[in-house]
């Protein structure tokens, strides 16, 4: 009985596999994805740059806090509170006073992610409730070193009128109460959208 060498069989197997892969993956279209013309998808809308300015109210005190600690920091690092996680549903207002016109809510969380300085990982949606942007959201995900005068975080997307949005948010603390932890932060968001 003749014995067949493993090397020629392996070579034939690899050759057949490459042909199969090329045929299977050589097509531009797949069963689960279809290329579309961006102009058709965006209905010929032009991209524009908008500036949104509002105040973010982080309320930890009182009977109805809008920021709640869900993970306390370990006792070993009290200065930066490394490990702390707060869930938020913070009001967004036109002016720095909580009584000024409400334009939306900041919903998400922030977490103390630095052991050397007070620096938060911010993950939040700005859910707008006013005017033509009612029901639309902008998503911010980034680092917030809160002791700096102006902090910059990326806008990574959005929904509704902010589909395909991108840009950046600048945050600056307007007021902070060290006794309660309550803060008012001015946000200026520069966003490209359609």
Residue 41's pLDDT is 67
Is 25 a residue whose pLDDT tops 80?
A: no
* 37 pLDDT tier (thresholds 50, 70, 90): confident
Looking at residues 176-180, what average pLDDT do you find? 96
pLDDT reported for residue 52: 97
Query: Hey, what CATH topology would domain 48-193 get?
Result: AOC barrel-like (2.40.480)
Q: What are the φ and ψ backbone dihedral angles of 18, each rounded to 5 degrees?
A: -65, -40
Q: Quick check: helix, strand or coil at residue 22?
A: helix
List pLDDT tens digits, range 89-123: 999 999 999 999 999 999 999 999 999 999 999 99
**What is the residue-averaged pLDDT of the chain?**
87
How do the domains of the chain map onto residue ranges?
Answer: 48-193
pTM exceeding 0.75: yes
In this predicted structure, what is the pLDDT of residue 40? 72
> H/E/C letters for each residue in 132-191?
HHCCCEEEEEEEEECCCCCEEEEEEEEEHHHCCCEEEEEEEEEEECCCCCCEEEEEEEEE
Chain segment 44-102, per-residue pLDDT in tens:
678 899 999 999 999 999 999 999 999 999 887 678 999 999 999 999 999 999 999 99
């Amino acid at each position: 009985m003749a014995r067949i060498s493993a090397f020629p069989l392996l070579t034939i197997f690899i050759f057949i596999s490459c042909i199969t892969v090329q045929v299977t993956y050589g097509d531009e279209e797949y069963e689960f994805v279809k290329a579309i013309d961006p102009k058709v998808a965006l209905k010929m809308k032009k991209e524009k740059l908008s500036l949104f300015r509002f105040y973010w109210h982080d309320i930890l005190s009182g009977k109805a806090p809008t920021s709640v600690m869900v993970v306390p920091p370990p006792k070993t690092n009290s200065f930066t509170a490394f490990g702390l996680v707060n869930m938020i549903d913070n009001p967004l207002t036109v002016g720095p006073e909580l009584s000024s016109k409400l334009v939306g809510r900041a919903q998400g969380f922030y977490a103390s992610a630095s052991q050397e300085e007070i620096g938060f990982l911010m993950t939040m949606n700005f859910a707008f409730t006013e005017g033509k942007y009612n029901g639309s959201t902008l998503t911010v995900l980034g680092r917030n070193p809160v002791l700096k005068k102006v902090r910059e975080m990326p806008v990574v997307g959005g929904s509704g009128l902010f589909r395909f949005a991108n840009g950046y948010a600048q945050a600056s603390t307007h007021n902070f109460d060290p006794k309660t932890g309550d803060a008012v932060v001015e946000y200026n968001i520069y966003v490209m959208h359609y």
